[in-house]
Amino acid sequence: MSGMKKGPFLNRELSWLSFNRRVLEEAQDRTVPLLDRLKFLSITGSNLDEFYMVRVGGLLQLERGGVLSEDPAGLSPRQQLEAISREVRRLVRQWERCRVEIEQGLAKAGIVRLNPALARDEQRHHFLRVFERELFPVLSPHAVRSFRQFPLLPGLATGLAVRLGDPERPVRRDRYAVVVIPRALPALIAAPEEGSGYAYALTEDVVKAFIGRLFPGEQVGECRAFRITRNADLSVREDKAGDLLERMRDVLAERAWSGCVRLQVESGCSSLLERMLRKALQVGERETFRMEPPLDLHSFWGLATMPGYEALREPVWAPVLPPVFRRGPSVFALLDRQDILLVHPYDSFDPVQRLVEEAADDPDVLAIKQILYRTSRESPIVAALARAAGKGKHVTAVVELKARFDEARNIEWARRLEQAGVQVVYGVKGLKTHAKVCLVVRREAVGLRRYLHFGTGNYNEITARLYSDVSYLTSREIFGRDASRFFNAVTGWSRRLPYEKVAVAPDGLRRRLMELIEAETVNARRGEEAAITVKVNSLSDPDIILALDRAARAGVRVRLNVRGVCCLKPTRAGGGIEVVRLVDRYLEHARILRFHHGGKPLLFISSADWMTRNLDRRIELLVPIEDAACRERLDEALEIYFRDRCKLRRLEPDGEWRRVEAGEGEKRLRAQAALYEQARALAKEEKARGAEGVFEPERPEAGLP
């Protein structure tokens, strides 16, 4: 891998691209069912869209501003952009080969992509009817009279560039037009197919097949698809923002029309037409990519997730509801007796949702305080908060308006909650509120009691079935005091009092992590056993990386499971650093930390990745897990992540990721399947033990792996 400098650092952008290449490997894996392969291919496309919008957009701004400073891996903005371009071109070639292979496999299974221009007569007539009835009334051709009059197209829009005029005529007589395919239109159009098969065409291919009908009396010399990506690396200047809600709306508008950072053009596009597009959009050769349609790989998502064809997908793993939540007592009564740790999506997210819903309807609940970073479109948790406020409870919701690409939804929820009587706080000035915590205050015979949920994932019941996260439910008073101090600091002018158990960014989380790493380093230097085992999504903070490197050189065994960006180059010095990555059917999202601590391990869950922005510019939580049963479950889950021998990759000192194979006599374990089996086994054990003499009939579990 290029971009390696002497020292423990790898380039952030190239590390991210290696993650997206790893996702593509799942699409290339012939042991993965075809529609799941198509889903992974779609994900790589949407991932790369966001990468260009956020990371490349920022680098282009630095390059155009003449910034020459190097990143920790020793690359200037221009060198990074050139390396990114080379790697993305390699990725595009792999995409296209993979897409062709998947489409060929799907065709054999009866799912066929058609070219409307070459389809059977009845299918072509069907596409023509769809064009005339559903597409033609919506489409608006734009004449391009000069580069300065090129239409202002929204980001991620697919368009058709049209050259009008006879190809035999002189170039000077050619004229150009652009037809935008509105994103409100479906990406795919179904066609009649005999038998039980499914035939479809890309919407842009249907429009291309009948493009002449948009230009009566003209001769279409060329028509090619193109797609633009705009810079979304825009943020609010909060010192000048005035009304934050209004300023966020301005940012969303600016993002839709900001500078173009990538141009995708259909293969076969003439150099004449491509030059017109590049000049009009002010895009260089380095940011221009030729590829076969669809240019938007995410357009395959609807096909990959359509109902039916279950034989072309992995079996569903139905989330397990722990039996203690099936037997009737309220969440409050349950948490009075025990702490509960859930590993999602293997354990159901319902208990978390139930905590908020019961709190909304319980007459003894006085207050609910909650962080909302990302929620679903029809969130039952948001609905419960609004219902609670309507019943006279004091409800506070910290809604983070700056949650990238969810800003519009969060603005909508904020307004709805305010109208329902919820006290809405729009995050904290200068910081992004990324912590995951809910606090419920209830009046009981012994006085006020606080019930809590801490998590690594968002309060989103949809993504809770797709992301791997951890939830911790407790009524321990010491955590309740910390949670109250936390909310007072976030929502008011309260002086930040010291916390008893949790660590909070940006005040103390970085310091706590450095203390924990240093303590292991000191123990190793004394000749004692020392180890650090961590699972995070990203690792890029230079200070943390240097501290881990020092720890390894002192003899600490450092094991890191980093799903995405990892800027730490592993070593074999001393105790050594092992870095692995797991990509499978669920998106790994949990942050779990374990420090050996002289043989009395310290276990934590956290909302924070080990990135500078999380530790210094976000409000995050680090929560210790001290309950014995919860610690045992969390510890087992953490170890399973490192024992995977199906999907795991190891980062080598040369910067390349290589498959971790099972050794002789070693079980070929698949971590996510093992975690699901663990959840089912624990549920069965609990059923077998029974509860308070209550017997429950055994029922078959759905969706066995």
The catalytic residue positions are 434
Q: Is the CB of residue 347 less than 8 Å from the CB of residue 383?
A: no
> β-strands 503-505, 467-474: how paired?
unpaired
Dihedral sign for Cα 248, 254, 259, 262, please.
positive
CA gap 291, 96 in Å, rounded: 8
112 phi/psi in degrees, rounded to 5: -120, 130
CA gap 452, 502 in Å, rounded: 13
Classify 251 in phi/psi space as left (phi over 0), alpha (psi -120 to 50) or beta: alpha
Position 304, amino acid? A
CA gap 611, 547 in Å, rounded: 14
Q: Which residues of 548-582 are buried (b: 16+ CB within 10 A; e: fewer)?
A: bbbbbbbbbbbbbbbbbbbbbbbbeebbebbbbbb
Give, to the nearest 10 degrees, the angle between helix 407-420 and helix 244-256: 150
Cis peptide before 319 (omega within 30 of 0): no
Integer-rounded Cα radius of gyration of the chain: 27
Q: Is the CB of residue 206 less than 8 Å from the CB of residue 299?
A: no
Residue closest to 683 by CA, chosen among 352, 323, 341, 350: 323
* CB neighbour list of residue 492: distance below 8 Å, 6 or more residues apart: none
- Tokens standing for residue 182: 């509105």
Q: Is the CB of residue 449 less than 8 Å from the CB of residue 335?
A: no
Burial group, residue 245, by CB count within 10 angstroms (0-12, 13-18, 19+): middle
